[in-house]
Amino acid sequence: MASKIFNVGVIGYGLSAKIYQIPFISAVKSLKLYAVVQRTPKPDNNAELGFHGIKSFRSTELNDSHLELAKLALNAGKHVNCSRNNMWNQSVVVEKPFTPTYQEAQKLIDLAKKQSRLLTVYQSRRWDADYLTLSKLIKDGSLGRIVDYETRFERHVPDIPGSRWRTESIPGGGAIYDLVIRPAKRITAFLGNQREGIDGSDDSFTVLMHYDEFMATAKAAGIRTFKKVSDSALIIYEQELLLGLSQFYFDMQEEQLKSGIRPRDDSYRIEPSERYGK
């Protein structure tokens, strides 16, 4: 019996769709890229030319709000899959940021439950090499009791691009919604939800001081010792014994996908030993 094929529609045809979404849709045999909605196709950026046979829709009124687009998708009628008599309720995957506020997120979750549909947020960084390595070391106890965790997601961008949601002061814009989602999600996945608040004065602080040409960071704590590390890193101090893992390179999957390597290629996700964590 032939396996069931699920048609997938993608709204938007930018970097996220071309690098982070469609290559993985194409790599799954039970998924078929069925349609793409694109605001303004161009000769060098046209989904219909890049993927022959798909249904291509153009919309100059395409809304940038993930909230509104997700609501439309969840409220849409059932889709026909493979044959006219084979119907299925569509699922919805939302790119980050899911919504700018908790209240809006809850509205989408409630709507998905009402419509009996699966709603989720794209989680590509959960399969990065450093994430998987840290997860394994924490689970098998190799790093002992965790008392301090520091993670960074930094890139050198001397010229800030304009007119993009990442750099605009709008709901859901800026570095918090673009980048902090990734390390914050890792922390909760590794260590669970935060402890409940306590009464009393602060026992630690981190202060960032921004200057024209540089930034200074000040840290202090009365309950632990800090050691500055780079990128994704884990440092543990316990009875003067140092155990830890430092990861100084980003996962290679993004640059591989940009260079044309695809998830089913043998070289995909293979990293040279000099990029391993230490």
152 Cβ partners below 8 Å, 6+ apart? 183, 230, 231, 232, 233
Which of 90, 122, 154 is a domain's end point?
122
Quick check: 190 and 134 in contact, CB under 8 A? yes
Q: How are strands ordered across the β-sheet holding 6-11?
A: 6-11, 31-38, 55-58
Residue 237: pLDDT over 50: no
- Do residues 147 and 209 both lie within one domain? yes
Q: Is 277 within a domain?
A: no
Strand partners, 80: 87
- Do residues 157 and 232 both lie within one domain? yes
Type of residue at 252: M
Report cis status (omega within 30 of 0) of the bond before 161: no
pLDDT-above-90 percentage for the chain: 15
Provide the pLDDT for residue 31. Answer: 92
Task: Centre a 10 Å sphere on the Cβ of residue 69 and count the other Cβ atoms it contains.
Answer: 18
Provide the pLDDT for residue 87. Answer: 32
Section 144-154 average pLDDT: 75
Q: Is 94 within a domain?
A: yes
Provide the pLDDT for residue 147. Answer: 72
Pick from 115-124, 147-156, 229-238, 248-257: least confident: 229-238
pLDDT-above-70 percentage for the chain: 75
Which of 122, 141, 169 is a domain's end point?
122
Provide the pLDDT for residue 163. Answer: 60
Q: Is 90 within a domain?
A: yes
- Do residues 118 and 213 both lie within one domain? no
Q: Is 23 within a domain?
A: yes
- Do residues 140 and 246 both lie within one domain? yes
Q: What is the CATH number of the domain that holds 228?
A: 3.30.360.10
Pick from 109-118, 171-180, 198-207: least confident: 198-207
Residue 241: pLDDT over 60: no
Task: Retrieve residue 177's tokens.
Answer: 């919604």
Which of 122, 146, 173 is a domain's end point?
122
Provide the pLDDT for residue 165. Answer: 61
Over the stretch 67-106, which tens digit does the pLDDT of each residue have?
A: 888 888 888 754 323 222 333 457 899 988 888 889 999 9
Q: Rounding to the nearest 10 degrees, give the CA dihedral for residues 182, 65, 95, 112.
A: 110
Strand partners, 209: 216
- Do residues 139 and 244 both lie within one domain? yes
Quick check: 167 and 174 in contact, CB under 8 A? yes
Kindly report the average pLDDT of the chain as a whole number.
77
- Do residues 166 and 71 both lie within one domain? no
> What does pTM read for this prediction?
0.69
Q: Is 13 within a domain?
A: yes
- Do residues 109 and 176 both lie within one domain? no
Quick check: 209 and 215 in contact, CB under 8 A? yes
Distance CA 19, CA 262 (A): 10
Could you report how far apart the first and last alpha carbons of the chain are, in Å? 48
The residue written with tokens 């469609």 in the block is 22
17 Cβ partners below 8 Å, 6+ apart? 10, 36, 47
Q: What is the CATH number of the domain that holds 23?
A: 3.40.50.720
Provide the pLDDT for residue 26. Answer: 92
DSSP percent split of the chain into helix, strand, coil, nearest 5: 30, 25, 50
- Nearest in space to 15 (alpha carbons), one of 124, 172, 92: 124
Q: Based on the structure, what is the number of domains in the chain? A: 2
Question: Would you put residue 80 in left (φ > 0), alpha (ψ -120 to 50) or beta?
Answer: beta
Pairing of strands 215-221, 204-210: antiparallel
Q: Is 264 within a domain?
A: no
Q: Which domain holds residue 68?
A: 6-122
- Do residues 111 and 22 both lie within one domain? yes
Q: Is 66 within a domain?
A: yes
Instruction: Name the helix (H) or strand (E) containing 80.
Output: strand 79-81
Section 97-122 average pLDDT: 90
Residue 32: pLDDT over 80: yes
